[in-house]
Structure 1
């Protein structure tokens, strides 16, 4: 499972180094002393071992969204939920699962990617009584 943490952490943080204003890859939102990192990618980027370990389906028509919550730089448990909408406002519920490792907590969910299109994500992150909402658009592509 250590490789999973390394992969997900790399997926979350590597793109940040490329540009301050991230267009693709990892993004983040700050809510006081809480920072929520999020990214989405096609599940074909997962190795078969990591897909198996996380119980994710590796398919060109499946996307993955990865959320991590940090408070004062340390992993924070949260309740994460959300939806993804297409251009016709058809909505799909995202079913997040928590993955906990030695020094990391991640929330992952899968969603269908049937064709190239821009989708709107709405993610709620609840810590204690406080609910923070993140909205973003992402152009998605089926894998190869």
Structure 2
């Protein structure tokens, strides 16, 4: 991916993260000296050229989850896995891909959003031999 496209994607994700923080409070978990920041949003919030550069599907029925791991103020490499579960307990695995650009490391995964509903996310972040789990619920809406 070109540096410009990734920079634009990072900016887009940062704006989404800030908006989520203002509306719903900061979304982060701290595990000792490691802090995990996360947010999720509909993929239609991403501009088409940025979605293409990041190899994301831009659709009203696709959500994106963004995870970053910070230690001592610096981004760090981790292994990120997870699932998203709907109200019928149907579980979809989240296939995260690592994106590294200009001193930033983050992990992106997509999942289907077929209707408005509350989903349960379980994210596992492994740093070294430690595995930390984040569980959260979020109401999701198909995009327009």
TM-score w.r.t. structure 1 length? 0.91
Listed one character per residue, the Cα deviations across residues 25-51 of structure 1 (whole Å, up to 9, x for unaligned) are: x51000011110000000000001110
- 1:43-122 pair list within 5 angstroms: 43-122=43-122
Is the counterpart of residue 12 in structure 1 residue 17 in structure 2? Answer: yes
What CA distance in whole angstroms lies between the structure 1 residues aligned with 2:142 and 2:10? 25
What CA distance in whole angstroms lies between the structure 2 residues aligned with 1:114 and 1:4? 24
Q: Structure 2: any 5+ residue segments left out of the alignment?
A: 1-5
What CA distance in whole angstroms lies between the structure 2 residues aligned with 1:137 and 1:107? 19
What CA distance in whole angstroms lies between the structure 2 residues aligned with 1:39 and 1:127? 19
What CA distance in whole angstroms lies between the structure 2 residues aligned with 1:15 and 1:114? 21
Q: Structure 1: any 5+ residue segments left out of the alignment?
A: none
Give secondary structure in 1 for the equivalent of 2:108.
strand
Aligned length: 139
Cα offset, 1:15, TM superposition: 3.7
Is the counterpart of residue 38 in structure 1 residue 38 in structure 2? Answer: yes
TM-score w.r.t. structure 2 length? 0.91
